[in-house]
Every structure is written in C-alpha cells, then in structure tokens.
Amino acid sequence: MSEPPSEPGRRWQLPAQEEDPDRRGLFRPKRRFVVGLLAILAVLAVGRSLTGAKSTPRVPVSCSQATFSLRDATVAAGGNVTFAVTGPAGDAYGLYLDISGVTVGPDGHRQITTRGGIPVTATEALLAVSHLDGCYAEGSAGLTNGIARGAHTVTLFRLAPDGATTELASKPLTIN
C-alpha cells in the first residue's frame, strides 16, 4: 500500500496495475463468442419477423372438415391471392371468386353460376383446383386486371369425380 501524502493537497497515488488482457468486459474471449452468437440470433429473428409477415396462411390441418384461409382480406388489383386449404385427403377442391355454383359436366367442362350477377369468365373465377395430399395444400393465384375493384367472395367447393359439387366455405375478399 502506498504512504499517505506528506504534502497538503497532494493525492494518494496507488501503484500502477497491469491490465489483464482476459478481463476486458464484453470482449473477453468466452464472452465474445456468446455476444457474437446473440447478435447473429437477433439478426435472424428480425429477418424472420419481417419476411414471416407475408407468409402463406395456415389453417389447422383437418382430415375431416374442409376449410380454407386467405393471407390477406384485401388485395391490390392484379395482385396475388395467397391461400391455404385443408380437408379430407384425396378429394379435389376448387377455390372460386364470386361463384355461387359450379357444375362439372362429363367432359370435365365447368359451368359456373355467378354470385350477385358479377360477370366473370371461368378462367377469372377459378383461383385453384387441388387434390389435398396429407389433408393440406397451399398456393397463390394471380388476379387478372379485368376483375372489378370492390367487395368479392372467395368460395371453396368440393369437386366430386362424378361432377357433383358442394359449397364448403366462403370468405370475403376486397380488391382495391
């Protein structure tokens, strides 16, 4: 220990200590690894949250009850409708825009009945037809620019091999 100052106003002077290179706060070798790992995880979490916001919608998988979900309830004209469908595996399903009925003839040709008198062609009305593998399917369909802006309805139909169709669920969709 050093001696007290002999002159008034003089400060205590402690002997100089050598700085230990392994004791530099956050930059100690073991902590450097942990801090680097945490920084990488934070960057990945932020990236995931930014891109995950526009992922495909998920519906609880059900092999007994058919239903669907849309990623967005509002879509820009000419944009994409992203959807997820669940139901019994092996069945064929069709997602249609503004359709109240679908009849499939023996030649496979679909005749559609519009909802609310909105004139659409079969190509514009059809968003997707899919056979469900593992009781689940997802996808995206582009809207043509000819579809009017405003309120629309997306309807899920079961398409039986004999041509019979069954309306299963409907959801609103706004095109702006």
Predicted local confidence at residue 173, as pLDDT: 92
Residue 74 and residue 113 in one domain: yes
Report how far apart, in Å, the C-alpha atoms of 5 and of each of 1, 15, 17, 76 are. Answer: 12, 14, 20, 80
- CATH number for the domain that contains residue 128: 2.60.40.1930
Q: Are residues 74 and 135 in the same domain?
A: yes
Parent domain of 44: 21-53
- Enter the tokens of residue 118: 């909105």
Asked if 93 contacts 66 with a C-beta cutoff of 8 angstroms, the reply is: yes
Spatial CB neighbours of 115, under 8 Å, sequence gap ≥ 6? 98, 99, 100, 153, 155
Token pair 């399917």: residue: 137
Give Rg (Cα) of the chain: 32
Cβ contact 68:85 at 8 Å: yes
Could you tell me if residue 1 is inside a domain? no
Which of 5, 29, 53 marks a domain boundary?
53
Judgement on whether residues 48 and 71 belong to the same structural domain of the protein: no
DSSP alpha helices (H): ranges in 53-128? 122-125
Amino acid at 142: G
32 is a domain residue: yes
pLDDT given for residue 142 in this prediction = 82
Q: Which portions of the chain are predicted below pLDDT 50? A: 52-53, 119
Residue 2 within a domain: no
C-beta of residue 131 within 8 angstroms of C-beta of residue 90? yes
6 found inside a domain: no
For residues 116 and 34, membership in a common domain is answered with no
pLDDT of residue 53: 47
Whether residues 32 and 114 fall in one domain: no
State how many domains the chain has.
Answer: 2
pLDDT tens, position by position, 60-86: 888 999 999 999 999 888 888 888 889
Q: Say what the pLDDT of residue 159 is.
A: 81
Q: Are residues 31 and 107 in the same domain?
A: no
- Asked if 113 and 167 touch (Cβ cutoff 8 Å), the reply is no
Do both 78 and 155 map to the same domain? yes
Cα–Cα distance between 165 and 102 in angstroms, integer? 6
pLDDT for residue 6? 61
Residues 46, 115, single domain; the answer is no
Based on the fold, state whether residues 48 and 86 are members of the same structural domain: no
